[in-house]
Amino acid sequence: MVQKAVLVTGGAGYIGSHTVIELLNAGREVVIYDNLDNSSYEAVRRIEKITGKAPIFYKADILDKKALLEVFGRHAIDSVIHFAGLKAVGESTQIPLDYYYNNITGTIILLQAMKESNVKNIVFSSSATVYGEPPVIPIPETSPTDAKSPYGRTKLFVEHIIRDLCTAEKDWNAGLLRYFNPAGAHPSGILGENPTGIPNNLMPFLAQVAVGKREFLSVFGDDYPTRDGTCIRDYIHVVDLAKGHLAALKKLEENPGCVEYNLGTGVGSTVLEMIHAFDKAVGRELPYKIVARRAGDVPNLTADPTLANKELGWKAELSLDDACNSLWNWQSNNPQGLEGFPADAPKEAVINYL
């Protein structure tokens, strides 16, 4: 049987690049489609360094339907993993139209191009933010959804759009993956999260404090109803998360229609526990200050991953220490991230009909 390719939108980004590595290691052919808005072509070079295989890369936008159709026409693609999107909760409250346009309109255009190209399998990057403030911890997939920010609502609306499509057209299959908190980096130490500007998430921020790029970490509130007063999140190693996508692709081969899964560990850690775990990896205590609560934060987001364990045959296997050690390995070897390396794609990889 001829091996078909997987189109990975946002494949140069943090989770996308780690997933591309797992796909290539599993012998899959990969086509990356990314506008490099929040990533660097250097990540693609590093994927090749790690795997010894060069993924096909296009610098193009999911809003650009002609470019999508051209890529679907050039390659024998049978499924899409859709990471491309804007992802900062805070920023989404400042520029909601950009978030709705990029994340929702972009996904609709992608789905239209898929349909016209007869590609009807999609794995979508959703998020635990769709649960809002959940009534039960750990959170099952059946928990009510109630996203609290424009970003979270883009994820929730796209979930609905994809579910409606699968209901209307029975030859579509979709895996909606609700990620909890991705953390860590590739164990090689040459690929990891490469935030542009001020990191939005705890772990990349803490890593920048450790290399002296930021003075201290602000802990937003210590008066939550948790064991030490700081918020609890379910931190999942990015390599485990990446492997969850391969399991989801396999599930789609069973024609399940639209299915949703929590990708988390089932174990929550407080902000203070994460700081101490990362201190251990770095070998010293990192400075932090308790400041006021941040709007929109909820006390506890911990996954119940039972469904993914059972139906995908997937389970998070790496520990919090693995996440902290790999993050420190990456950050200490690359204190400026991928800054200073050529960020743009080679000319022949750029397609743009917009």
Residue 138, preceding peptide bond in cis (omega within 30° of 0): yes
**CB-nearer residue toward ligand NAD: 37 or 70:** 37
Is residue 151 part of the annotated active site? The answer reads: yes
Are 124 and 70 contacting, i.e. CB atoms less than 8 angstroms apart? no
**CB-nearer residue toward ligand NAD: 126 or 270:** 126
At 291, which helix (H) or strand (E)? Answer: strand 288-291
Q: Distance (Å, rounded) from C-alpha 245 to C-alpha 239?
A: 10
The values of phi and psi at residue 175, to 5°, are: -115, 115
**CB-nearer residue toward ligand NAD: 16 or 268:** 16
User: Each residue of 246-255: b (16+ CB within 10 Å) or e?
Assistant: bbbbebbeee
**CB-nearer residue toward ligand NAD: 203 or 275:** 203
Q: Distance (Å, rounded) from C-alpha 84 to C-alpha 61?
A: 9
Q: Nearest residue to ligand NAD, using CB?
A: 13
The values of phi and psi at residue 40, to 5°, are: -130, 145
To ligand NAD, the closest distance from the beta carbon of 130 in angstroms equals: 10
To ligand NAD, the closest distance from the beta carbon of 82 in angstroms equals: 8
Q: Helix (H, G, I), strand (E, B), or coil: what is residue 64?
A: coil
**CB-nearer residue toward ligand NAD: 284 or 322:** 322
To ligand NAD, the closest distance from the beta carbon of 47 in angstroms equals: 12
Q: Distance (Å, rounded) from C-alpha 289 to C-alpha 267?
A: 25
Residues that bind ligand NAD in the complex, under the rule CB under 6 A: 9-10, 12-16, 34-39, 61-63, 83-85, 87, 102, 106, 125, 127, 179, 181-182, 201
The one catalytic residue in 33, 99, 151, 179 is 151
To ligand NAD, the closest distance from the beta carbon of 85 in angstroms equals: 3
Query: Distance of CA 166 to CAs 65, 77, 81, 120, 171, Å?
Result: 21, 19, 16, 9, 7
To ligand NAD, the closest distance from the beta carbon of 254 in angstroms equals: 24
Instruction: Report, as residue numbers or ranges, the catalytic residues.
Output: 151
